[in-house]
Structure formats: structure tokens, C-alpha cells
């Protein structure tokens, strides 16, 4: 259950569907900064949430689908993923070998 009042800027059909039994949704905020002169290409379909050993979840929704970020520019993207309740050791997987640990905060009262 969402504990804050966040909602996407427009209604999203995939977020209106019921959550699978034994699962919940998480919101992941990603900020990318281009540090290469050639910039960075962003594609939301390049990202997924996975458990170190276990499932892989594609985004149900992303605030931005694609972009080209020039040197020094930032891009902030919000993703929504549906994951199993018992998933703890989560990583955000991205293009190439990108893997960012998401920690266990979504399972705590902090």
C-alpha cells in the first residue's frame, strides 16, 4: 500500500490493474548525469528490477521513455515496478553491466 500521496501526473492503465497476489509496487527514482562528451542515451526499456537470485521485473511505468542527455545535463526518471513481497536483495539493472543495489528500505518502517 502506498504510504505517501504520490501519483503519476496522468492516469496510467497498467497501474490501475490489481497487484498480483504476494506482490507490491515500488517506486524507483533514478537521476542520470552525462559525464561523457558524447552524452548518454536513456531508454526506459533498458531497465529492470531484479533480485540477486530470483525474479526480474520490467517497469510497469516510467516518467520518461527515452532521451539523449548532453554532457553535464541531468535526467530524473521515476519508475514503477511490481515485485514479490519477499524480495529483499534488489538491484536496478540497466544497460551493459549496470547494477545498482536498492537496499532493503522498502521493507522497513524507516
DSSP secondary structure, 2-60, as one string: --S----SS--HHHHSPPPTTEEEEEEEEEEE--STT-EEEEGGG-EEEESSS-EE--S
Q: What residues form DSSP beta bridges with 79?
A: 28, 62
Residue 77 has pLDDT above 80, yes or no: yes
- Select the more confidently predicted residue: 36 or 6: 36
CA distance 8 to 38: 31
Are 23 and 85 in contact by the 8 Å Cβ rule? The answer is yes
Exposed, middle or buried, 49 (CB in 10 Å: 0-12/13-18/19+)?
Answer: buried
| Lowest mean pLDDT, pick from 1-5, 6-10, 77-81, 92-96 | 1-5
Residue 56 has pLDDT above 50, yes or no: yes
CA distance 100 to 3: 24
Residue 107 has pLDDT above 80, yes or no: no
pLDDT in tens, 15-50: 888 998 999 888 999 999 999 999 999 999 999 999
Q: Where residue 3 falls among pLDDT bands split at 50, 70, 90?
A: low
The pLDDT assigned to 74 comes to 96
Residue with cell 524480495: 87
Amino acid at each position: 500500500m502506498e504510504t505517501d500521496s504520490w501519483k503519476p501526473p496522468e492516469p496510467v492503465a497498467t497501474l490501475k490493474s490489481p497487484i498480483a497476489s504476494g506482490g507490491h509496487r515500488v517506486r524507483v527514482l533514478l537521476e542520470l548525469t552525462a559525464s561523457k562528451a558524447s552524452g548518454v542515451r536513456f531508454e526506459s526499456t533498458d531497465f529492470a528490477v531484479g533480485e540477486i537470485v530470483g525474479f526480474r521485473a520490467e517497469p510497469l511505468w516510467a516518467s520518461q521513455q527515452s532521451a539523449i542527455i548532453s554532457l553535464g545535463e541531468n535526467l530524473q526518471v521515476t519508475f514503477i515496478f511490481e515485485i514479490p513481497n519477499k524480495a529483499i536483495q534488489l538491484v536496478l539493472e540497466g544497460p551493459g553491466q549496470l547494477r545498482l543495489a536498492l537496499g532493503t528500505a522498502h521493507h522497513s518502517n524507516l
